Amino acid sequence: MVILKIFNNNSIAALSENKQDIIITGAGIGFGKKVGDIVDEGKIERKYVLQDEYKKRFEQSLESIPTVYFEITHQIVKRATVILQTDFSSEVFLAITDCISFAIKRKKEASYLPNIILNETKVLYKKEYEIGLLALEYIREKTGVQLGEDEAGYIALHLATFTLSNQKRNVIKIVAFTKEVIEIIQKTMNCNISEDTLAYARISTHLKYLGEHIFRNESVSIEDTTYDIREILKENEKLALCMRRIVKLIERRYDYTLSPDEQTYLCIHIKRNII
Domain ranges of the chain: 1-49, 63-167, 171-273
Distance in angstroms (rounded) separating the CA atoms of residues 179 and 184: 9
What pTM, to 2 d.p., does this model score? Answer: 0.71
Higher pLDDT, 21 or 228: 21
CA distance 116 to 100: 18
Q: Which residue has the higher pLDDT, 136 or 265?
A: 136
Contact in structure between 178 and 125 (CB atoms under 8 Å): no
Q: Please give the single-letter amino acid code of residue 234.
A: K
**8 Å CB contact between 239 and 271:** yes
The arithmetic mean of pLDDT across residues 24-28, rounded, is 87
Whether residue 20 is predicted with pLDDT greater than 60 in this model: the reply is yes
Structure confidence at residue 222 (pLDDT) = 47
- pLDDT over 70 for what percent of the chain? 89
The structural architecture, per CATH, of the domain 63-167 is Orthogonal Bundle (1.10)
The kind and range of the H/E element at 192 are: none
- The pLDDT, as a whole number, for residue 143 is 96
CATH architecture of 171-273: Orthogonal Bundle (1.10)
Q: Would you state the pLDDT for residue 225?
A: 38
**Domains 1-49 and 171-273 are alike in CATH topology:** no
Distances, alpha carbon 120 to alpha carbons 90, 134, 207, in Å: 26, 19, 11
DSSP 65: S
Nearest alpha-carbon partner for 229 in 270, 274, 268: 268
Mean pLDDT of 12-23: 82
pLDDT digits (tens, 9 = 90+) for 29-51: 999 999 999 999 999 988 877 76
Cα 218 from chain centroid? 21
Q: Which conformational region is residue 256 in: left (phi greater than 0), alpha (psi within -120 to 50 degrees), or beta?
A: beta
CATH of 1-49, one of 3.40.50.720, 2.60.120.200, 2.30.24.10, 2.40.10.340: 2.30.24.10
Give the residue, 91 or 245, on which the prediction is more confident. Answer: 245
CB 195 within 8 A of CB 220: no
